[in-house]
Amino acid sequence: IKLAEKELLLRWANYHLQEAGCPKINNFSSDIKDSKAYYGLLNQVSPKGDEDGVPPIAIDMSGLREKDDLKRAELMLDQADRLGCRQFVMPPDVVRGNPKLNLAFVANLFNKYPALKKPENQDIDWSSFEGETREERTFRNWMNSLGVNPRVNHLYADIDDALVIFQLYEQIKVPVNWDKVNKPPYAKLGSKMKKLENCNYAVELGKKEAKFSLVGIAGQDLHEGNKTLTLALLWQLMRRYTLNILEDLGDGQKVTDDTIVTWVNGSLTEAGKPTISSFKDQSISSSLPVLDLIDAIRPGSIRYDLLKTDDLTEEEKLNNAKYAISMARKIGARVYALPEDLVEVKPKMVMTVFACLMARGFKN
Ligand SMILES: *[C@@H]1O[C@H](CO)[C@@H](O)[C@H](O)[C@H]1NC(C)=O
Ligand SMILES: *[C@@H]1O[C@H](CO)[C@@H](O)[C@H](O)[C@H]1NC(C)=O
Ligand SMILES: *[C@@H]1O[C@H](CO)[C@@H](O)[C@H](O)[C@H]1NC(C)=O
């Protein structure tokens, strides 16, 4: 789960290729052009009829004898089609080795036919392998949108040496003394110590320089990825970042939640739209206040004729929220909250949406 998507899929494909006695691959471009690895993979993951009710699908491997790459690719995709997995690629995409399309093809195959078994008789806590939460995805979105290096694929594992945290501090204008920071590559021996030292320094900066509330948080909690405590630090970083953007635009004036609500109310009133009482206002669940605000900032941008405004089902709320976030981005607001945050009226995330819109509004 720490691997980037591409590495994960390569590892999965190679596991099956090895089981099939086929050569391994290093990429989804040159190495899959002749369709032979794909044949091996399809043959390996296709249903064998040993599961309840799933009929077997035997892959016809005769296409391997075809001499022409393009025709072989077509025959291979015919077999993928029998598994319902022909999407994303045409024979020329396989033969040219288009990496993005082939990655999508393999990802789809993986989702539909993982063909993996949980190891037996092992004491593994499977709950720790659950997918990331929405909150974690939001933080990763935010960090990666700022271009941190390395890119964060797994929230906790990829910040266990605090290097990404230091970059985030710089984004909120907390000076980092890079001479005090241990940098990779870390020697095998003592790497834990080096990373821990970084984490201790990161917590110290948060307490002394950023003036965050970090009661009971130690470097070790970051290094070991204690979820609650790591998220507490990240939340304060993200919040400060958002408020800083506003302060930059408002000539350094202090910005609080109230400042934002007042600005939102003012803009909505000016445009003749209903106001909000706070970031907990249940009317936000429909995303209409957000859409109204976008329309106030860029008049005529919202297609109200396409919107459902009364008696919304959960699905209609989600549709409105997706539309609101995509329109916010379209008018240039760097929104990183997720649609679900609006539907469920998560006050913290709602605040960031309005703050980003306010930052955009200031530029008018
Ligand atoms: C893919 O991997 C092979 C080695 O398995 C290498 O020869 C080839 O250059 C790689 N192709 C790309 C596009 O990276
Ligand atoms: C994380 O830290 C909190 C607060 O100190 C603690 O209650 C919790 O048990 C820790 N979680 C783990 C997984 O260590
Ligand atoms: C925003 O408007 C609501 C309703 O009109 C009002 O109750 C609230 O006090 C206003 N909030 C601010 C901060 O202006």
- The predicted-structure confidence for 16-55, as pLDDT tens digits, reads as follows 999 999 999 999 999 999 999 999 999 999 999 877 778 8
Nearest atom in ligand 1 to 29's CA? 13
The pLDDT of residue 70: 97
pLDDT at residue 361 greater than cutoff 70: yes
Q: Which of 2, 9, 3, 1 is nearest to 100 (CA)?
A: 9
What pLDDT is recorded for position 127? 62
Candidates 300, 315, 298; CA nearest to 364 is 298
Q: How far is the CA of 145 from the centre of ligand 1 (A)?
A: 29
Ligand 2 pocket test target in 128, 130, 221, 226 with most atoms within 8 Å of CB: 226
What pLDDT is stored for residue 2 in this prediction? 67
Position in ligand 2 atom list of the atom nearest CA 228: 1
Task: Give the pLDDT confidence score for residue 12 in this predicted structure.
Answer: 96
Q: Residue 40 to residues 24, 72, 214, 281: CA-CA distances in angstroms?
A: 10, 13, 53, 55
CA 227 – ligand 2 centroid, Å: 8
For residue 27, report the distance from its CA to the centre of ligand 1, in Å: 6
User: CA-CA distances (angstroms) from residue 266 to 55, 263, 354?
Assistant: 63, 5, 13
Average pLDDT, the chain: 91
Q: Do residues 340 and 134 touch, judged by C-beta distance below 8 A?
A: yes
Q: What average pLDDT does this structure show over 298-303?
A: 96
Ligand 1 atom nearest residue 24's Cα: 5
Query: Nearest CA to 2 among 160, 218, 192?
Result: 160
**Banded pLDDT at 126 (limits 50, 70, 90):** low
Cβ–ligand 2 contact at 216 (below 6 Å): yes
Work out the average pLDDT over 72-85: 96
Q: Which ligand is nearest to the CA of 99?
A: 1
Q: Whose CA is nearest to atom 8 of ligand 3?
A: 277
| pLDDT score for 50 | 78
Average pLDDT over residues 205-222: 96
Distance of CA 46 to the CA centre of its chain: 30
357 Cα to the center of ligand 3, angstroms: 18
Residue 218 is predicted with a pLDDT of 96
Q: At which residue do the structure tokens 């009929």 appear? A: 55
Compare 113 and 246 and report the one with higher pLDDT. Answer: 113
The reported pLDDT for the residue numbered 364 is 67
Residue 362 — very low, low, confident or very high, per pLDDT cuts 50/70/90? confident
What is the pLDDT at residue 119? Answer: 75
Tokens of 337: 């909250």
CA of 212 to the centre of ligand 2 (A): 19
| Residues 316-338: tens digit of each pLDDT | 999 999 999 999 989 988 788 88
Reported confidence tier of residue 247, pLDDT bands at 50, 70, 90: confident
User: How far, in Å, from the CA of 263 to the mean position of ligand 3?
Assistant: 10
The predicted pLDDT at position 145 comes to: 79
Reading the block at residue 208, the tokens are: 């002394």
- Integer angstrom CA distances of residue 84 from 81, 87, 88, 239, 258: 5, 8, 12, 44, 53
Residue 147's SS3 state is: coil
Ligand 2: which of 228, 230, 231, 233 to mutate, most ligand atoms within 8 Å of CB? 228
